[in-house]
Structure 1
Amino acid sequence: MSFWCERAWLPGGGDGGAPGGVVEAVRVEVGRGRIVGVEPGVPASSGDVRLGGVVLPGLANAHSHAFHRALRGRTHADGGSFWTWREGMYALATALTPELYRRLARAVYAEMALGGTTAVGEFHYVHHRADGTPYPASEGGPNAMGEALRSAARDAGVHLTLLDTCYLHGGLGPGGHAPLAPEQLRFGDGTVAAWARRVDVLRAAWADDDRVLVGAAAHSVRAVAPPELAELARWARQTGAPLHVHLSEQPGENEAAVGAFGVTPTRLLHDAGALGPGTTVVHAVHLTDDDVTLLGASGTGVCLCPTTERDLADGIAPGLRLLRSGSPLSVGTDQHVGADVLAEARGVEEHERLATGRRGSFPPATLIELATSAGHAALGRPDAGRIAVGAPADLVAVRLDTVRTAGIEPAQVALVAGAGDVSDVVAGGEIVVRDGEHRAGDVGRMLADAIEEAWAVAGRDLTQGSEA
């Protein structure tokens, strides 16, 4: 199969050379899901699939909690806070079954695909039945929820890195870690060793599926104690799995870590051996200067989620300082206030403008990198996110004739365009979205049906203020 791109964003020289940029009239040849030829400056032929506008590499959503999508537009009664939002999240998590989660996640991933996402990192901690017991073999076994997410991603046409999350404690106070609360029981495996046994089974089951990867996550220093962090980090290094961790999203986490251990969460991760190029921390909003240095010097990646960080009043992460210190940046949609990776990348620059009073800290080419190659690398796909021979055939066509993009310089598309401007999406050589329509059908209807059922099961309606 071949795709002819009216314009395509091709990589630059690398090794300090020219950044990527827009090239006109590019044919991309695809075979067995990968790019086998890139030919710029050629006319279209009758056998080409034509892609208009500017074609970007597939976008990577490096941080997702799929079930949080059901919270969109339901958490603002009486103002709310991060902590009251979390109450609603727990209620929703309790309602999920493997089949309901499959249908909800299928719709959420399809919504992502409509906006250009071709790979998603699912930070997955809803593992067991609501009482904390594993699903029996008759109901899919201990990894039934993970299998539901794999099925959802396959149907939606996106690559999946399942960041299977270790979640062992219910919080952190001056006296140390608390046991899991009743609403958290389904998240836990008891010990890191038990978590690893379950995940090793999943890795073996998925070994021959080239559209999925199994990674690891520590929910946070609130949920995983320092010796457990060290054990989890060793497992990740031994298996080569990417490791992700929520870090310093709220000041309360920092205060709890300092109160219990005398050091910041970043220092806890460092001392546990959990930082390094294979690790990505998420949010990293409330950092000390020493934290920034530790993250950068170790080459630890940082995933920023600006839309969530605004919605939950988390604050503004020091994105530019982190990048300059040596931390690769990626972006994610987290709780899915929006499912728009381009908007998240743009939000990194917009937040920097608010924090510094300066424009242009992140040039358009850097924003494209955040949304594509850097995100894929954080998800264990270092060869993805480029329109180049050997890369996965992930392509996203962004229209230049919408009311938002008409008249722009194509090279500045990252500063203007969003999910609503995507017309076509190719993932692994398969056409997933064509002319703005997902191959699965009416994604809005799919979302509405699954979300309504989830809240019917949860028995709550946060729009009426029950979150308080």
Structure 2
Amino acid sequence: MSLTYWCEQAWVPDGIADDVIVVVEGDRIARIGQGPPPAGAERLAGLTVPGLANAHSHAFHRALRGAAQEGKGDFWTWRDRMYEVAARLDPDAYLRLATAVYAEMALAGVTCVGEFHYLHHATGGKPYDDPNAMGHALVQAARAAGLRIALLDTCYLTGGMGAQLAGAQDRFGDGNAERWAVRADDLAACYEGQADVEIGAAIHSVRAVPPEQMPVVAEFSHRHAAPLHVHVSEQPAENAACVERYAATPVQLLHEHAALGPRSTAVHATHLTDVDVELLSHSGTFICMCPTTERDLADGIGPARTLADRGARITLGSDSHAVIDLFEEARAVELDERLASGKRGHWSAADLLAAATTAGHTSLGFPDAGMLVPGARADLVSVRLDSVRTAGARGLEAVVFAATAADVHSVVSGGRRVVEDGRHVLGDVGSLLAEAIGALR
């Protein structure tokens, strides 16, 4: 089936162009040209950009928005609240919640999500009849919302440096990396050859996976040619505990156990030494910055510009979903750098949008997405340039530094129109979220 879209403006490899014609066949862009609207073409107003990639998501954290802000605390007190939510989920509840969360992402222009998935088992760590029931629920949710998904099945074995899993953490673990790999292999086999799903791997953190277990997870990534993601140096306390136990920083430990490389992504990478920066950059590891979560949890500001200058590729994620707005994540990389350095102009709008598009999709195992070129996946996100936020603004800066998720009015994901006139095909996403989250409370 062939569909033709006529874009008032579009961001193509050469920059912003006017009167862009995009012909879509199936889930791919077949042709791109310029000219007046062809007969029967669907008009996309404003500026059309490639689909955005949310490279780091914990779908169930969305239930904490606005519910974990009262009082004082830090990352660790927030984590206790997160465990309480995790304890209440089963596959049916998770399907309802994740469907609504992914629909919210689609409304924000996201066409692909990297789901860092560690909520595997039932209460007490007992496997469901299908040990991957929770993972299947996430894939089903992404499909219902119109997103591709890189399901990053996470190995999570200890509750701290060598500590036993306890409480809700019982639901996360498989006992050891070998048992994790058996379950993850079964999951990968279920989706082999399916173009909208990538089964990747994750090492939760150096707190949660002992170093001798890490090579098993890395080998899964190599064997399946799949992404490998890991939380890295999010908190100073994590670094201190790692150095005390292993005489190495988290980055050094991951390097020593073959967990860094061009398929790997270090999430957060907030508190790094100069050696860490060199190891990450020279290994080709992606860096996923999650500024809205990092500021919400008082994590700190990571050295994104320094990493990029050394050759690392930067991606973006909404992580705990304090907000779901990849434009906000993108500009926060620049704005946070300004706060840390006292200077402006570290990133161009094009650089930041590339982090949200081409780099993000590639880090999730979809290198043929995130660009408006023939043969690429047909992801088109159109942003209003006449809203109260964008009116009078020009160029990519209008999108990256002025627009919000609310300015996205049309989303085509993999050739499928999932958002039209700011409304998702599933209907009232706010009601879906309220129902799913209300049931957990």
Residue matched to 1:150: 139
Task: Return the TM-score normalized by structure 2.
Answer: 0.98
The yes-or-no answer on 1:97 pairing with 2:90 is yes
**Which of 152, 155, 159 is residue 166 of structure 1 equivalent to?**
155
Residue matched to 1:398: 383
Gaps of 5+ in 1: 13-20, 456-468
Provide the C-alpha distance between the structure 1 equivalents of 2:219 and 2:200, rounded to a whole number of angstroms: 13
What are the Cα deviations for residues 139-160 of structure 1, in whole angstroms up to 9, with x where unaligned? xx00000010011011101111
Residue matched to 2:314: 329
**Which of 84, 88, 98 is residue 81 of structure 2 equivalent to?**
88
Q: Is the contact between residue 2 and residue 29 of structure 1 (CA under 8 Å) also seen in structure 2? A: yes
Report deviation, 1:411: 2.7
Provide the C-alpha distance between the structure 2 equivalents of 1:421 and 1:360, rounded to a whole number of angstroms: 24
Provide the C-alpha distance between the structure 2 equivalents of 1:261 and 1:209, rounded to a whole number of angstroms: 40
Q: Which amino acid aligns with 1:398?
A: V
Report deviation, 1:417: 1.1
Residue matched to 2:33: 39
Report deviation, 1:296: 0.6
Report deviation, 1:133: 1.0
Task: Specify the SS of the correspondent of 1:52.
Answer: strand
Residue matched to 1:2: 4
Task: Specify the SS of the correspondent of 1:36.
Answer: strand
Report deviation, 1:266: 0.5
Provide the C-alpha distance between the structure 2 equivalents of 1:382 and 1:225, rounded to a whole number of angstroms: 31
The yes-or-no answer on 1:246 pairing with 2:231 is yes
What are the Cα deviations for residues 409-460 of structure 1, in whole angstroms up to 9, with x where unaligned? 12312111120110000000000000000000000000000001012xxxxx
Runs of 4+ in structure 1 displaced over 4 angstroms?
Answer: none
RMSD, matched Cα: 0.8
The yes-or-no answer on 1:116 pairing with 2:109 is yes
Q: Is the contact between residue 400 and residue 410 of structure 1 (CA under 8 Å) also seen in structure 2? A: no
The yes-or-no answer on 1:347 pairing with 2:340 is no
Q: Is the contact between residue 304 and residue 329 of structure 1 (CA under 8 Å) also seen in structure 2? A: yes
Q: Is the contact between residue 28 and residue 39 of structure 1 (CA under 8 Å) also seen in structure 2? A: yes
Q: Which amino acid aligns with 2:246?
A: F
Residue matched to 1:28: 22
Q: Is the contact between residue 181 and residue 216 of structure 2 (CA under 8 Å) also seen in structure 1? A: no
Provide the C-alpha distance between the structure 2 equivalents of 1:340 and 1:447, rounded to a whole number of angstroms: 16
Residue matched to 1:447: 433
Provide the C-alpha distance between the structure 1 equivalents of 2:150 and 2:407, rounded to a whole number of angstroms: 26
Q: Which amino acid aligns with 2:8?
A: E
Report deviation, 1:359: 1.3
The yes-or-no answer on 1:375 pairing with 2:360 is yes
User: Where does 1:74-85 land on structure 2 (aligned, <5 Å)?
Assistant: 74-85=67-78
Q: Is the contact between residue 63 and residue 331 of structure 1 (CA under 8 Å) also seen in structure 2? A: yes
Provide the C-alpha distance between the structure 1 equivalents of 2:352 and 2:6, rounded to a whole number of angstroms: 24
Report deviation, 1:7: 0.3
Gaps of 5+ in 2: none
Task: Specify the SS of the correspondent of 1:385.
Answer: coil
Residue matched to 1:53: 46
Task: Return the TM-score normalized by structure 1.
Answer: 0.93
Q: Is the contact between residue 128 and residue 134 of structure 1 (CA under 8 Å) also seen in structure 2? A: yes
Q: Which amino acid aligns with 2:67?
A: R
Report deviation, 1:80: 2.6
Q: How many residues align?
A: 438
| Deviates further, 397-406 or 190-199 | 190-199
Report deviation, 1:208: 3.5
